[in-house]
Amino acid sequence: MSDAKRKSNGSGTDRRKKKYRSDGTPVWGKRYIDGPGVWVSCVKGKEKQTVGELYDLFESVASELWPVKTESEGESSDAEANANLSLEDQIASEVSAMKRPRAEQRFTNCQTNTPCVVFISCKAPVDPVQLVIQHVQNVERTGVTRTRYTHRLVPVSASCVANLPEIQALCRTVFKQFFDRHEGKQFTYKIELRMRNHTTIARPALIQGVAQCVPERHTVALTNPQVFILVEVFKSVCGVSVVEDYYRLQKFNIMEIANARNSGDQSAEGRVPQANAQNDDEG
């Protein structure tokens, strides 16, 4: 074998063995950002660990909100149903059970290739807004974050390409879903826009474009709004959601919520090591 082939084969093996990228995201993650999901800011250099702890956390919270039938439960129910079947029917039932598709993974890490930034996409029936609010309320009640490296969680109900027509179409869909659940009620609202690594759309133009999609009966309130329209723009992707109690819940920064709940008790559970995380400044 020539030296060139050896080098080629060696580099191919090295690529196959590499499990994580330089920013800590696993190579088996998605290669693009796909919503609905949750944007996460985390400790710099701990992106890989953040993904792992979020998988465990989100599955735990989701299992309470959207429980799924476990294999053991399915097997017991199948056994009861097969008790009165003939031998041939029991065999056919067992073969059918073996062919059932496994439960689909509800959470997937999407590569951001950016330090301190993680995106976890969610699949139905998981609602990222309900998922995050449930966890934030748990932290507010207990003072326990259940994570070490996660700082802030920002849910988005859906995502699209970051151009104004697409964003406005997405906003109309997301806003209708929220306001239809509160039919007849008038809200005051504020648009919370965060832009990172994006320079195509000017900030004022984007805010104005999003505001045009809000039904006219609702009014802007820069102080003490009832609802918050979260708009997250990251590179060429935009995500949108509508939430309540955003300021009261420390902008969903679970570290801040836990610290406030624990009243500075350095030994309280849920406290995480001090570390530098990416600022929320627009890029």
pLDDT tens digits, 180-238: 999 889 999 999 999 999 999 999 999 999 999 999 999 999 999 999 999 999 999 99
**Which tokens in the block code for residue 111?**
């590569």
Average pLDDT value for the chain: 83
Rama region for 146: left / alpha / beta (φ>0; ψ in -120 to 50; rest):
left
Question: Which pLDDT belongs to residue 266?
Answer: 42
**Which tokens in the block code for residue 221?**
């309130």
Which H or E run includes 62? helix 47-65
Report pTM.
0.75
Question: Which pLDDT belongs to residue 275?
Answer: 43
Question: Which pLDDT belongs to residue 91?
Answer: 73
Question: Which pLDDT belongs to residue 15?
Answer: 47
pLDDT tens digits, 55-86: 999 999 999 999 987 655 445 555 555 566 77
Of the candidate ranges 12-21, 43-52, 80-89, the one whose mean pLDDT is the lowest: 12-21
Residue ranges of domains in the chain, CATH in brackets? 21-66+103-262 (3.30.2130.30)
pLDDT of residue 11 exceeding 70: no
Q: Are 135 and 61 in contact (CB under 8 A)?
A: yes
pLDDT category of residue 105 using cuts at 50, 70 and 90? confident
In degrees, rounded to 5, the angle at the alpha carbon of residue 13 between the alpha carbons of residues 12 and 19 is 105
Max Cα-Cα span within the chain: 76
pLDDT of residue 20 exceeding 60: no
Nearest to 227 by CA among 175, 171, 151: 175
